[in-house]
């Protein structure tokens, strides 16, 4: 998706949903086990927008997260500068800012030049739109004629509806392993290897 997309839009003014991956992730330890971790949130609620949600004990959560990564990757031959990359993502206690920084800083680290926008800042008037109408409106605003979504997006969006709006809808093929975190690649692979992985993506 990274290599074939021109613009990434962070939807930070949609409703926060508990149990999703915006404040959680998983990495693989030395034994191949999937280790899950969660950043604790302060006052999270399904009645709040994502850009209204903060980390609880921001500095403590950041430090604990990095400590956990050091435990997981401690005995591997790793790229130690990734710890600084992770730390650079925590410039705010807002999860929407941390999410945005994670994408922006990883792209910068890999030398990937893409436009990354935050909805509430770039398109403040689009909060009125819901579901696919929001996507139509964003594509129209950005003059985009193609939209790419994850495999499970097939249950939300129909290609024929997008065609009626002159937008080509595609989904990433579900033959990829989405349980693998980008951290697993950043810590143990070279930039060249990771960039090659960006091309390893099929669409339906």
Query: What global pTM score does this model have?
Result: 0.87
Of the ranges 13-27, 59-73, 146-160, 186-200, which is most confident? Answer: 59-73
What are the tokens at 112?
Answer: 């990937």
Residues 158-171 have pLDDT tens digits of: 999 999 999 999 98
Domain positions in the chain: 7-197
What are the tokens at 188?
Answer: 């143990």
Alpha carbon distance 7, 176 (integer Å): 22
Identify whether the C-beta of residue 171 lies closer than 8 Å to the C-beta of residue 203. Answer: yes
Residue 67, pLDDT > 60, answer: yes
Q: Nearest to residue 124, comparing CAs of 193, 71, 51, 190?
A: 51
Alpha helices in 18-57 (DSSP H): none
């Amino acid at each position: 998706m990274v290599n074939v997309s021109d613009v990434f839009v962070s939807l930070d003014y949609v409703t926060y949903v508990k149990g999703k991956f915006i404040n959680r992730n998983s990495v693989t330890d030395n034994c191949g086990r999937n280790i899950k971790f969660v950043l604790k949130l302060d006052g999270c609620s399904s009645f709040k927008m994502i850009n209204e949600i903060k980390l609880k004990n921001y500095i403590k959560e950041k430090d604990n997260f990095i400590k956990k990564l050091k435990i997981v990757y401690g005995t591997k031959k790793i790229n130690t500068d990734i710890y600084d990359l992770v730390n650079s993502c925590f410039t705010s206690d807002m999860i929407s800012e941390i999410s945005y920084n994670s994408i922006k800083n990883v792209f910068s680290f890999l030398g990937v030049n893409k436009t990354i926008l935050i909805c509430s800042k770039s398109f403040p008037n689009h909060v009125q739109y819901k579901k696919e109408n929001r996507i139509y409106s964003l594509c129209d605003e950005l003059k985009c004629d193609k939209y790419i979504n994850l495999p499970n997006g097939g249950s939300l969006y129909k290609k024929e509806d997008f065609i009626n709006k002159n937008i080509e809808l595609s989904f990433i093929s579900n033959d990829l392993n989405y349980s693998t975190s980008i951290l697993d690649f950043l810590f143990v692979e070279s930039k060249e290897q990771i960039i090659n992985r960006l091309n390893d993506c099929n669409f339906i």
